[in-house]
Amino acid sequence: MKICQNILLLSAFALLAFAGCKNEPTDQDDPAASDGTAVIKDAEEVAVGDMPIVTGPGGQISPQTLAMVESLTRDYWYVEQWVEINQGSLSREAANANRGRWFQFDDGGKITMGKLKSTVDSGKWEYDPQTARLSMDMGKEDDMEFTLKMTPDGKVMLWVGTDRFNQNNVQLKLENYVELMSEMPVVTN
């Protein structure tokens, strides 16, 4: 009986030791981990070029940040809703004045801003993934900074103003459109 217990115990240890072994990853392995998380690569590995992304220590840029910037630099972002908190009727005026405003970002750090089919201003933009802040240094218009949230499909963004340019009462909902429009679609809530 004691011999059977020892054999069983030895077999259990051998099984645990075997199950704990893992192969070292190779260059051919998929960069996405089996648990669904992605591997963070060094900035040099992902070839971001001159993208205006603030990198943290070690210069790493996550695949999530790259996907967000890819969506940000696609087509035109139209303001669907512009809300100024605690402004009463001024908020409605700001919403009407900014409806149809659009932003176009390129991956070299240039931003173009307009309203409907007209271009109004241009400048530079930068994104900091550590704080999720989008900073815009405009030529003629006021500079802006917002914290940014984007839907997983990359078609809708929410911007919340920061204290930096005294815009912490401003919130925007933007949607991605392929081309400029002469008028905005009617909102049906």
pLDDT, tens only, 28-56? 444 433 433 333 334 333 344 566 787 76
Specify the 3-state DSSP secondary structure of 118.
strand
Q: Walk me through the domains of the chain, giving residue ranges and CATH numbers.
A: 70-177 (2.40.128.270)
Q: Is the Cβ–Cβ distance between 182 and 116 less than 8 Å?
A: yes
Stated pTM of the model: 0.68
Residues with Cβ within 8 Å of residue 84, at least 6 apart in sequence:
90, 91, 94, 95, 169, 170
CA angle 52, 53, 57 (to 5 degrees): 140
pLDDT tens-digit readout, 128-162: 998 999 999 999 888 999 999 999 999 999 999 99
H helix and E strand count, the chain: 4, 10
The CA-atom distances, in angstroms, between 31 and each of 57, 137, 155 are: 21, 35, 25
